[in-house]
Structure 1
């Protein structure tokens, strides 16, 4: 909190007082003031409700409820293409900030963004108004869920994925639905149920069938391979990896025009392959990972932290401790820059093996 205050030119209490405040906040003896709530939300990557552990405030009831309802319906029905574009541009801005700076400091912005999208969708009546808003909400909710995973807020992540799936069904968008299902499988994996996660990814593949783009289908196969590695299913893992490599589009382009949440090309897949092979303890992992490191986009800070962590794991499998230590330092530095709870947890586990 002191470091945050210095960086943002904000006054806080002395160190001794802060220790007392934290103890009293934790024990419910002191209410968190708005001033300190702003700081804590940024540091912990939580919403205001999660921080204060209080129930959401009910909207006040008014005598003219029908007038208010019709007003909201009219407002939602008049949402224009430019308004939907504004929603999507906001999601894209949050995606860029997340990629470069991490998710922890974006909780307030993302919470407000989702609330605005949900509010609009809740009162949009006709399909012509609902579908574009639902599609925007599906994309934003999936991003918010991944950010929650990165911040260590797994229950919030799960709820966001459920929201994303509902919105994708409302939008009649199987690509967005399959993507949300497959990412949700990572929550199951982190909770110790990787085999269930594998089944969920395969269900996502069946949901998509041949309706999706080759890049998304390759992404789904790679996700299946990673979860199979965690579930100790090496043969299934390698088959899924081969399937991903067989259909990934050639060339350096990584953005899927039909699914803006997907960044995947041959170089990204090589990095992913290295990560998966490292999980299997395969010697081939090191070569794949160093090849991916050479072409890594410098703006993908969190992905760089993950790549260095993958190299730590790969070198440990070969008992190459000096190289593992070198990449561990790089991984920790990058993970601290983004504040990724998920990455730091992994780094701590790897550090314990050195």
Structure 2
């Protein structure tokens, strides 16, 4: 039974009719020939109730529309490809992996960067197949890499890509996939002997716990991340982890307000004043004074602090339009800040902008926040 289809559809708040519309629009844009709207509605009902199998043709449309992997869509685990027997095949794979350190790792890193840019600007839902293939290629290479000098660069590349994939999965509402990808990232970081990648994966994984309703456990995890060889962590990563702790403490409730403020002060002190936007040692981290101002506004808005407004509007004035998902969150923060002051018209205006940006990227995570704020208007 393709219960995964129903789960993914409902996570987006789509009716079966809406899914039919989106499938038809997707097909029209790509000049694909698919069934009529009436037939598609019958197919969807039968797919969701297990009376019809989703064919590869329609799965290729549904995956990017809903932002799910193939096994999540079908509710099954994909079968393993049969492998050739004998030592010849094994040694061939080992030899191929041995040459990857110099020849393929730069390509892996470049592909991750491309997927990161596409995710930032367009959202993650249409990147599921590409990201799955990307991770599979790196996992395969790492499996057959023998010596530490060969394994470390591959594992480092895998840790960064798996962390990105996990955040994309969390944004798409695929919580189980997000958790497993963070575990993959942590294991790869340990294989790479990289406290930076390990701490970053732990810090992001804490958000899964917070979204699942375990804020205290989330705070404990992000604090543990800061204790992973802090002397080997970069200053920008340490600032990022402190800001993440501040946000998670603010979300945990009023009893952690002082801890949230202290963590944000620590983040401000730790952030290097070097004019850079990204961490040269960990390209996943985008953090400068402008980003931190936006983060501080987020924390203050969660705490109900009136000074959040100034921080958030300062961030809005300098916001990079390519950070579409982050800007959706910024408008959510401004909605929350205006609601705290009883300014309903301003709150509605920012909420509408947040909704449009969340829909543009297909972000289930931001759409949930938009719906929560809608209930307060």
Interval of TM-score (by shorter of Structure 1 and Structure 2): over 0.9
Contact 1:309–1:347 (CA<8 Å) still a contact in 2?
A: yes
The answer for the alignment partner of 2:36 in structure 1 is: 14
The answer for the alignment partner of 1:353 in structure 2 is: 376
TM-score normalised by the chain length of structure 2 = 0.92
The answer for the alignment partner of 1:277 in structure 2 is: 300
The answer for the alignment partner of 1:176 in structure 2 is: 197
Q: Secondary structure at the match of 2:232?
A: coil
CA drift of 1:214 comes to 1.0
For 1:328 and 1:217, how far apart are their aligned partners in 2? 32
CA drift of 1:322 comes to 0.4
Matches within 5 A, 1:200-215: 200-215=221-236
Q: Secondary structure at the match of 2:300?
A: helix
Does residue 90 of structure 2 align to residue 89 of structure 1? no
Q: Secondary structure at the match of 1:180?
A: helix
For 1:180 and 1:38, how far apart are their aligned partners in 2? 30
The answer for the alignment partner of 1:100 in structure 2 is: 121
Contact 2:101–2:154 (CA<8 Å) still a contact in 1?
A: no
The answer for the alignment partner of 2:94 in structure 1 is: 73
Does residue 269 of structure 2 align to residue 246 of structure 1? yes
Q: 1:61–1:113: structure 2 CA closer, same or farther, 3 Å change rule?
A: closer
CA drift of 1:58 comes to 2.7
CA drift of 1:9 comes to 2.2
For 2:309 and 2:36, how far apart are their aligned partners in 1? 48
Does residue 248 of structure 2 align to residue 220 of structure 1? no
CA drift of 1:143 comes to 0.2
For 1:58 and 1:82, how far apart are their aligned partners in 2? 27
CA drift of 1:59 comes to 3.1
CA drift of 1:6 comes to 2.3
Q: Secondary structure at the match of 2:273?
A: coil
The answer for the alignment partner of 1:324 in structure 2 is: 347
Matches within 5 A, 1:230-309: 230-232=251-253, 233-250=256-273, 252-309=275-332
Show structure 1 runs of 4+ deviating over 3 A: none
CA drift of 1:252 comes to 4.0
Matches within 5 A, 1:35-54: 35-54=57-76
CA distances 1:229-260 after superposition (whole Å, capped 9, x unpaired): 11121010000000001111225421110110
Q: Secondary structure at the match of 2:227?
A: helix
The answer for the alignment partner of 1:59 in structure 2 is: 81
For 1:288 and 1:105, how far apart are their aligned partners in 2? 33
For 1:252 and 1:341, how far apart are their aligned partners in 2? 33
Q: Secondary structure at the match of 2:32?
A: coil
Q: Which moved more, 1:101-110 or 1:329-338?
A: 329-338
Q: 1:287–1:229: structure 2 CA closer, same or farther, 3 Å change rule?
A: same
CA drift of 1:61 comes to 4.9
Contact 1:169–1:177 (CA<8 Å) still a contact in 2?
A: yes
CA distances 1:149-203 after superposition (whole Å, capped 9, x unpaired): 0100010000000000000000000000000001000000000001001000110
For 2:211 and 2:77, how far apart are their aligned partners in 1? 27
Q: Decide which of 203, 209, 221 is 1:188's aligned counterpart.
A: 209
For 1:34 and 1:267, how far apart are their aligned partners in 2? 45
CA drift of 1:313 comes to 0.8
For 2:154 and 2:291, how far apart are their aligned partners in 1? 30
CA-based RMSD of the aligned residues comes to 1.1
For 2:189 and 2:241, how far apart are their aligned partners in 1? 17
CA distances 1:189-228 after superposition (whole Å, capped 9, x unpaired): 0000010010001100001322111111000000000111
User: Structure 1 stretches of 5 or more lacking a match?
Assistant: none
CA distances 1:36-91 after superposition (whole Å, capped 9, x unpaired): 101100111111111112222133254x3222111111111121423100000000
TM-score normalised by the chain length of structure 1 = 0.98
The answer for the alignment partner of 2:6 in structure 1 is: none
Contact 1:251–1:266 (CA<8 Å) still a contact in 2?
A: no
Contact 1:253–1:265 (CA<8 Å) still a contact in 2?
A: yes
For 2:302 and 2:31, how far apart are their aligned partners in 1? 44
